[in-house]
Amino acid sequence: MMKIWTMCALALPFLAPVALADSCGSRPAPIHMVNGRTADREAMQLGNDDLIGYTHQVNRCLTCLSGEEKATRSQVSAVQKTYDRPAKAFNDRAAVSADSS
């Protein structure tokens, strides 16, 4: 039983990205790039504006994911510490039982 809980706690960081993506929203959709060979100045300026907006969205998403990752790692650490107390008590009891046999 202890091994199952430990494995679950250790697997959480690998499963977390799926959950994190949900709380931070979907990844920004890539933007359409203008064709520099055929675009006029206005089209290039709009493309540049789109790129700046896209970059801001990506940075917001990355910041959210980073914060969520830190919070999740902190939660995993707290769960592990909470588990360690009963595991230690169990192991101490098992050691006493083995010594008295």
State pLDDT tens for residues 33-50. Answer: 999 999 999 999 999 999
Distance CA 18, CA 69 (A): 11
CB 96 within 8 A of CB 36: no
Share of the chain above pLDDT 70, in %: 77
Domain boundaries, the chain: 49-101
Query: Is 60 exceeded by the pLDDT of residue 21?
Result: no
Enumerate long-range contacts of 47-54, CB under 8 Å, 24 or more apart. 54/28, 54/30
Residue 4: what pLDDT? 56
